[in-house]
Amino acid sequence: MSGLADDPDRRSRLLALTLQALARDNFGVSSFDAATGLTRGAAGTADNRAFVLVDDQPARGLGAALAWASRHEVDEVHLIASSATGSLARRATQFRSRVTVWHRDDRTLIEAVPEAFPEPREVPAEHLAFRDTIVEAGARASVEHGVLAGEVRGLEVCRAITDPHTGAHRLEVGVGEHDREAFGMLHGDTPTADSLRRIVRIADPHRSPGADPHPLNRLGAERSLRDRVIADPSVVGLASLDTAPPPTPRANLKDPIPCVARGLTTDGREVVAVFSTGIDLDVVPFAADARLALCGGDLPNTDLVIVVPERDASPVTTRLSERLVHPARIVGIRHP
């Protein structure tokens, strides 16, 4: 679809024509009863079935497809994508709606099979040795998919790495890969512990509740929300929480992706909490996937709580959460 980014109307028309051709060739659909634009692709209904083609960020397209289908009061959904169809099929199993995910290969559709989660990765022992340095500098140590990092109110400020050329293990300081490289060039002679304490002192005021807008508090707003609730789980009616990995590794620090915690309710039940900011149509499929990854077959005995700022507790999020086989509870909390 390159070349169409500057012409969204043309892109939308092309995607609608592509969906019509796929529905005709693979399902015998001659025309759609209702067809409207979809932010991530195109969608239409025929014979009480929804057909949704997801083109933009397919891995996060299930929520948009289900939201569109629910608005048109259709329970049978055919979701078509060219990538991430295995994970989409796995997430679809968590909903009561009849969802079939199709992998698109040009004009041919192949039914997708739910794929397994990534194999767990252990943190190298040499990296774990940096945990005390992180904590003593005033950051929170966090482990996700085999990566040890240090966070200040949800903002990653350091990461343990192994140099691919020398094999040396070190703690790199900075926000994101490029910032860590720049920080290393500017402060390479400064001991790591001192560099980390310095960046913690810089970042903390900007990440504190009520701080003025700043680049350091625009990143990872959902992780800042998680940090706040972990410090006081009672604000969402829970007894305890600690960080937990997302179902799949984060691609980068810039894109707003929900984050996860795990703990106990006040009556001792297991709970998975997922944090998001903004109106994220895919937070419910993401949350259901996170619970499945952490709890496996014990879903009925594990509560699921989706925590968002009060202004972002939208009706569509509630509607999608109610369509889960094991529904989630949506909690909106006030901005401090």
257 with 206, same domain? no
Q: Is the pLDDT of residue 188 over 80?
A: no
Token pair belonging to 288? 């259901």
Q: What is the CATH number of the domain that holds 317?
A: 3.40.1350.10
Are the CB atoms for 97 and 66 separated by under 8 Å? yes
134 occurs within a structural domain: yes
Residue whose tokens read 């810039």: 254
116 occurs within a structural domain: no
Are the CB atoms for 84 and 106 separated by under 8 Å? no
118 occurs within a structural domain: no
Final residue belonging to a domain, choices 162, 194, 216: 216
Alpha-carbon dihedral of residues 153, 156, 158, 164, nearest 10 degrees? 160
119 occurs within a structural domain: no
311 with 210, same domain? no
Token pair belonging to 284? 């419910």
Q: How confident is the model at residue 191 (pLDDT cuts 50, 70, 90)?
A: low
146 with 77, same domain? no
Q: What is the mean pLDDT of residues 271-300?
A: 92
232 occurs within a structural domain: yes
3-state secondary structure of 259: strand
Question: Residue 78 and residue 90: Cα distance in Å, rounded?
Answer: 14
Q: pLDDT exceeding 90 applies to what percent of the chain?
A: 68
Write the CB contacts of 57 (distance below 8 Å, at least 6 apart in sequence): 40
272 with 230, same domain? yes
Question: Residue 4 and residue 22: Cα distance in Å, rounded?
Answer: 20
Which tens digits make up the pLDDT trace of 196-255?
Answer: 999 999 999 999 888 888 888 888 899 999 999 999 999 999 999 999 999 988 877 677
183 with 201, same domain? yes
Q: Is the pLDDT of residue 131 over 80?
A: yes
170 occurs within a structural domain: yes
Domain count, the chain: 3
144 with 206, same domain? yes
- Residue predicted with more confidence, 181 or 247: 247
Q: Could you give the angle at which helices 85-92 and 62-71 cross, rounded to 10 degrees?
A: 50
- Residue predicted with more confidence, 198 or 192: 198
Helices (H) and strands (E) in the chain, counts: 11, 15
40 with 102, same domain? yes
Which tens digits make up the pLDDT trace of 200-216?
Answer: 999 999 998 888 888 88
Domain housing 226: 221-333
97 with 180, same domain? no
Taking every pair of C-alpha atoms in the chain, what is the biggest distance, in angstroms? 69
197 with 285, same domain? no
Burial class (CB in 10 A: 0-12, 13-18, 19+), 258: buried
241 with 205, same domain? no
